[in-house]
Amino acid sequence: MSEKRSIFEEVDADEVNTSEPNDRIGMARSKNFNKPLKIWLTLLFVLVALMIVVGGLTRLTDSGLSITEWKPITGALPPFNMEMWQSEFAKYKTIPEFQIQNKSMTLLEFKTIYWWEWGHRQLGRVVGLVWLIGFVWLVVGKKMSGIWTTRSLIIGGLGGLQGAIGWWMVSSGLSGRMVDVASYRLAVHLGIAFLIITLITWYLLQANISDQERIRSRREREKNLIPITNILLGFVFLQIIVGALVAGIDAGRGYTDWPLMNGEFLPTESFSYTPILSNFTENPALVQFNHRIIGYLTVLYTIYVWWRCRSSSFDATKRRSNLVLLIVFLQMIMGIATVIYAAPLGWAIVHQFGAILIIVFVQSLRSQISFPKKQLVQL
């Protein structure tokens, strides 16, 4: 039996170091345990990102109303003979978009927009299937702890809600005088998509943090930087929502000068719609103006966050704040170019993909601040 030590007795250096290998073993085991989870989350991230891009293409090609019914199961099979194609085309001819805007459309042209919308919906089915198979396999195989089960159910629940919101959005353009979906419903639809990818990104970052690192971070986290990066994420989300309104009413193609808008700071027609609140979602002048102003504020606030991160004790925090600042500046430049050239398809999609990258980099910075890496700044 070993003798009891005095609390003031010095401990040999070799004894102190023995805990470090154990920590490394613990971290390795934790990360190895999370490996199937990380693969699943990565696959979901890629699919949701692709879904957002294809959704953007569906909107920019005016394809979103080409399928006039919501059939989550049977709709997985596309038309495969002329009779079925004619039937789908006949349904499309009954909605305002065809009657007001596309009366001269041929069956061949209809097939093009149909395939975009069908592909978007099919990707949604694939995302749902990948989530379900992965979730069941991880739970049955006991490869996922309680907190991860809850997080996974949140993703799955939001995914199911997103499907319903997608149809709610499409249904707004199937009757009346609407030739497009309601812009506010499009904003909700895109907002949920970005909420899902934001959560998946955060969960992926969390899956790479071992229990030992998590415990250590309680002492080392940079609490003064957590609130300001949370606010930055809020700015980014607000800008994405307003950007969805821009896309929903093609506001990006109406005012193609910069920094003014048709020679004015705030176009005189910005509040010409009634009721007055409808200007914030339906008036191209005010919607694009808001997108510009919120963009400027986001850039200025990003500079402030970057400046605050300069005082961090961790090299990784400084590096990640540099990346956030860089991608936000690039996104601003791409946004200005997209406006000047009247939102060409390729540029608009790159601009939308840039929003995904900003979410990833901001989440990476937030993770580093909350769970900092060990390496400190060399003085």
pLDDT in tens, 364-376: 999 999 998 765 4
Residues 38 and 170 in one domain: yes
Q: Is 116 exposed, middle or buried (0-12, 13-18, 19+ CB in 10 A)?
A: buried
What per-residue confidence (pLDDT) applies to 18? Answer: 44
> Which of 168, 201, 219 corresponds to the end of one domain?
219
Q: How many separate domains does the chain show? A: 2
> Which of 160, 187, 219 corresponds to the end of one domain?
219
d(CA 375, CA 85): 61
What per-residue confidence (pLDDT) applies to 301? Answer: 98
**Mean pLDDT lowest among 33-37, 98-102, 105-109, 312-316:** 33-37
Which strand (E) or helix (H) includes residue 24? helix 19-33
Residues 342 and 203 in one domain: no
Q: What is the pTM of this model?
A: 0.88
- pLDDT, one tens digit per residue, over 173-221 is 888 777 788 899 999 999 999 999 999 999 999 998 877 877 777 777 8
What per-residue confidence (pLDDT) applies to 374? Answer: 61
Residues 49 and 187 in one domain: yes
- Among positive and negative, which fits the CA dihedral 180, 185, 188, 189? negative
The torsion angles phi and psi of 295, rounded to 5 degrees, stand at -60, -45
272 belongs to a structural domain: yes
Residues 315 and 237 in one domain: yes
Residues 241 and 207 in one domain: no
The 10 Å CB-count burial string (b at 16+, else e) for 270-307 is beebeeeeebbbbbbbbbbbbbbebbeebbebbeebbe
d(CA 8, CA 27): 31
Residue type, 44: L
DSSP reduced 3-state for 314: strand
Q: What percent of the chain has pLDDT over 70?
A: 90
Q: In the structure encoding, which two tokens stand for residue 154, read together?
A: 């949140």
**Mean pLDDT lowest among 109-113, 195-199, 246-250, 300-304:** 246-250
Confidence category of residue 294, pLDDT binned at 50, 70, 90: very high
Q: What's the average model confidence in pLDDT over 282-298?
A: 96
Whether the predicted pLDDT of 134 surpasses 60: yes
Smallest CA-to-CA distance from 368 within 299, 332, 319 is with: 319
Interacting residues of 12 by C-beta distance below 8 A, sequence separation 6+: none
Whether the predicted pLDDT of 2 surpasses 60: no
d(CA 161, CA 156): 9
Whether the predicted pLDDT of 378 surpasses 50: no
DSSP labels for 353-379?
HHHHHHHHHHHHHHHHHHS--SPBPP-
Residues 182 and 45 in one domain: yes
d(CA 82, CA 91): 14
Query: How many other CB atoms sit within 10 Å of the CB of residue 135?
Result: 18
d(CA 27, CA 208): 9
2 belongs to a structural domain: no
pLDDT, mean over the chain:
88
Q: What's the average model confidence in pLDDT over 329-343?
A: 93
67 belongs to a structural domain: yes
Confidence category of residue 349, pLDDT binned at 50, 70, 90: very high
What per-residue confidence (pLDDT) applies to 4? Answer: 53
Q: In the structure encoding, which two tokens stand for residue 312, read together?
A: 């961090």
Residues 226 and 337 in one domain: yes
What per-residue confidence (pLDDT) applies to 379? Answer: 37
What per-residue confidence (pLDDT) applies to 27? Answer: 47
16 belongs to a structural domain: no
375 belongs to a structural domain: yes
295 belongs to a structural domain: yes
Whether the predicted pLDDT of 30 surpasses 60: no
> Which of 187, 219, 251 corresponds to the end of one domain?
219
Whether the predicted pLDDT of 264 surpasses 90: yes
> For residue 145, what are the CA distances in angstroms to 30, 149, 241?
12, 6, 34
d(CA 156, CA 159): 5
Residue 261's beta-bridge partner residues?
264
Residues 345 and 228 in one domain: yes
**Mean pLDDT lowest among 2-6, 120-124, 264-268, 312-316:** 2-6
**Mean pLDDT lowest among 14-18, 127-131, 142-146:** 14-18
Whether the predicted pLDDT of 25 surpasses 60: no
Residues 214 and 225 in one domain: no
d(CA 103, CA 113): 15
Whether the predicted pLDDT of 15 surpasses 50: no
What per-residue confidence (pLDDT) applies to 32? Answer: 53
DSSP state of 267: -
Residues 203 and 260 in one domain: no
312 belongs to a structural domain: yes
Residues 69 and 208 in one domain: yes
Domain hosting residue 231, numbered range: 221-379
7 belongs to a structural domain: no
Residues 87 and 140 in one domain: yes
